[in-house]
Amino acid sequence: MKKFLFTLTIICFFLSCKKTLECCVLVDTFVDISVIEKATKKDLLNPIVENHYDMKKVILEFSSFSNQKTGIEAIQYSKPLFFQKGEIYYLRIFPTTSEPVAEKNTVTIYWNETNVDKITFHLNFANGNTLTEKILINDELKWDLSKGYKEITILK
């Protein structure tokens, strides 16, 4: 009898559910970037490597706040993450420091005085969700939906 009631409860639960999840909103707008020196294969984000990019000195400029360059440490919301996965260091970048509202958002990364990269996010706002459709690095397509996880290596 207990098995019957349990089974009946489960069936009623699934029948009462709608086919779409109206309760949930998905926001998937980031990219994990590694930076490798082409000639030496050195990880330029690794803090123990000579001539690495110092995360305390990296400046970001968001298209949503153009002409306002901000150090990573000063960003309050959607703060970039600096982390290590395996042997490689990554910087996770978001398209804005707030909720994205434009379909195209650009983040300019000033690694130092002489090295700059432009990350362009193309977003899709469907069914209340915000999803990344493609990512360009310096106007060259580096990621789209067919490539899975958003991990890009920049060669210097």
Tens digit of each residue's pLDDT (9 = 90 or more) over 42-84: 999 999 999 999 999 999 999 987 778 888 888 877 788 999 9
pLDDT for position 79 = 84
pLDDT for position 39 = 96
**What is the pTM (predicted TM-score) of this model?**
0.80
Six-digit token string for 134? 């493609």
* Confidence band of 6 (pLDDT split at 50, 70, 90): very low
pLDDT for position 72 = 87
Q: What is the identity of the amino acid at 96?
A: T
pLDDT for position 78 = 79
What gap in Å lies between CA 101 and CA 94, rounded to an integer? 13
Which residues are paired to 105 by β-bridges? 121
Dump pLDDT digits (tens) for 86-145. 999 999 999 988 777 789 999 999 999 999 999 999 999 988 899 999 999 999 999 999
What gap in Å lies between CA 91 and CA 32, rounded to an integer? 6
At residue 131, the 3 state secondary structure works out as: strand
pLDDT for position 8 = 43
Q: What angle do CA 19, 25, 29 make, to 5 degrees?
A: 130
What gap in Å lies between CA 106 and CA 54, rounded to an integer? 22
Extents of the domains making up the chain: 32-155
